[in-house]
Amino acid sequence: MIIFTQHALLKLEQRNIPKLLVVKTLEFPDYEFDSYGERGIVYKKFSKLYLKVIYMKEGGNIIVITQYWEEKPRLIK
């Protein structure tokens, strides 16, 4: 199950990002990286921008921490 934190829900609204795009990014990422602690980062390209989603796994759930648009993944050289 994908669970959105209150922060993630607020940022979805502020940034006008549909939840469906976050779900697609998590299910079919173009790039996937480990972050610090238990966090992970996934990117998926939509049109000219990449959606970056920061999440963590807890039990069988994926907890979305935040999401935002970037011109290109920062972790790609």
Specify the pLDDT at position 35: 87
pLDDT, one tens digit per residue, over 62-76 is 999 999 999 988 765
Cα(67)–Cα(70) distance, integer angstroms: 10
Domain definitions of the chain by residue range: 2-70
Q: Which amino acid appears at position 5 of this protein?
A: T
pLDDT, one tens digit per residue, over 6-62 is 999 999 999 999 999 999 999 999 999 988 888 999 999 999 999 999 999 999 999
pTM: 0.92
Specify the pLDDT at position 37: 85
Specify the pLDDT at position 26: 98
Cα(63)–Cα(3) distance, integer angstroms: 5
